[in-house]
Chain A
């Protein structure tokens, strides 16, 4: 392996990952704009060798880092600097795959190209929500490819998105420290929660940015600069503040637990009551994304992607 590649691997950060619809492959996008596809069945089987832990196929998808990826029934959607591209899963595994389509949300200024930080699928009306660096959330219809709504209101770029299925609302967390709720049908802003103004969770030494959001219709977890807190959405009160000293970069609800990971080399399993049930150590120093493979009955594994190592670390979720 030449020095160039070794240096690249050293500085590689994997920002996003997504599991294939059949549950057998994991795609990961890194800061060089490449997407690598790993075969989970080969890597986790009992006869796994070093070779089967390497990517099955890897191609350059975007010219900037791939910040967000999400999978539909048949396609992998990846987003990087200003555009969303779709790849068919059936073509990905064969070499030399071409993108199915590529779209660019309407940005107000054509000078700068804002990056897309997060993607969220809305299966009810088959649309895709994009959180952008232009401080707004765009909604795109997947069938026609047109951009239906633009939710403007944040004063700084939007980091993360979460979807409240029951009420057809979308939550967005941004660098300006607010979590805003948008009604997807009317396009209006429903509520603003200024997380850093609440004393229980604000940590002014870290800043007020909200990096990760997850919602369960009635409850919401958000973290970043302020401490990771569980909020009850109907009364908009912070109920539990989790005792994690580091800034959390990704959080999700899983069964009765809340999984979170951030600037520390561990995946935290938290209970809604506020206790830290388990802290699974992992190889990378800082974790950018978590995903749980729920589509395959044999390989229920939580994957986490990392910074500063170029390797995929997997921790088996303790069931």
Chain B
């Protein structure tokens, strides 16, 4: 009888220990469960962060590509400095040529005036010569007329 009692006590002690063990296992599992939940929440947040970053990166990529596309078009057009230089050179040529034109026009004016003076003096001389001839003719006719009168 003592042995059966001690056996019962022993099995009771064993089941008590098992019960304790189960309780502690449960606590352990609860802890692990909470940890996993926390890490899931953290992972969700990270995913949301990463999604935002992806959107940002996509926007950056889009801007870069737009820039590249415009740059390609711009490259087709000639360089601004070169065109400015060409413009300057053309401007200088224009100035130079207009200078020459002015000089030539001045010379032309001068010559024209001189010719004008020359021509007008020739005309005057012609006029005076004609006048002189007329005067001398008139004098001769007067002389012959006077001679005829004295003869009569």
**Which A residues are within 8 Å of any B CB, using their own CB?**
218-219, 230, 232, 235, 237, 239-240, 255-256, 271-274, 319
Contact = CB atoms under 8 A, between A and B. Distances in A.
Given A255-B62, A256-B62, A272 B69 contact: yes
Contacts, number: 34
B59 interface: yes
Interface residues of B, number: 13
A239 B72 CA distance: 8
A273 to B, nearest CB: 5
Given A255-B58, A273-B68, 12 more contacts: A230-B69, A232-B69, A239-B69, A239-B73, A240-B69, A240-B72, A255-B59, A256-B58, A271-B65, A272-B66, A272-B68, A274-B69
A61 to B, nearest CB: 37
Interface string B51-75: 0001100110110011011101100
B70 A256 contact: no
Contacts of A319: 54
B58 A273 contact: no
In order of increasing CB-CB distance, the 6 nearest A-B pairs are A256-B62, A272-B65, A239-B69, A256-B58, A273-B65, A255-B58
A255 B55 contact: yes
B38 to A, nearest CB: 23
A63 to B, nearest CB: 43
A235 B54 CA distance: 30
Interface string B27-70: 00000000000000000000000000011001101100110111
B62 A272 contact: yes
Contacts of B59: 255-256
A256 B65 contact: yes
B70 A232 contact: yes
A201 to B, nearest CB: 13
A259 to B, nearest CB: 14
B52 to A, nearest CB: 13
B150 to A, nearest CB: 108
B88 to A, nearest CB: 26
A232 B73 contact: yes
Nearest to B54: A319
A282 to B, nearest CB: 23
B47 to A, nearest CB: 12
A154 B45 CA distance: 52
25 contacts: A218-B66, A219-B66, A230-B69, A232-B69, A232-B73, A235-B73, A239-B69, A239-B72, A239-B73, A240-B69, A240-B72, A255-B59, A256-B58, A256-B61, A256-B62, A256-B65, A271-B65, A272-B62, A272-B65, A272-B66, A272-B69, A273-B65, A273-B68, A274-B69, A319-B54
A240 B54 CA distance: 25
A208 B55 CA distance: 36
A240 B55 CA distance: 23
Nearest to B55: A255
Nearest to B57: A256
B69 A273 contact: yes
A18 to B, nearest CB: 24
B141 to A, nearest CB: 93
Contacts of A219: 66
A239 B62 CA distance: 14
A28 B137 CA distance: 123
A319 B66 CA distance: 20
Interface in B69-126: 69-70, 72-73
Contacts of A271: 65
B80 to A, nearest CB: 15
Contacts of B61: 256
A218 B54 CA distance: 23
A255 B68 CA distance: 17
A219 B61 CA distance: 15
B70 A239 contact: yes
B62 to A, nearest CB: 4
A272 B62 CA distance: 7
A232 B55 CA distance: 23
A232 B68 CA distance: 12
A273 B73 CA distance: 12
Contacts of A240: 69, 72
Nearest to B69: A239
A249 B69 CA distance: 24
B85 to A, nearest CB: 24
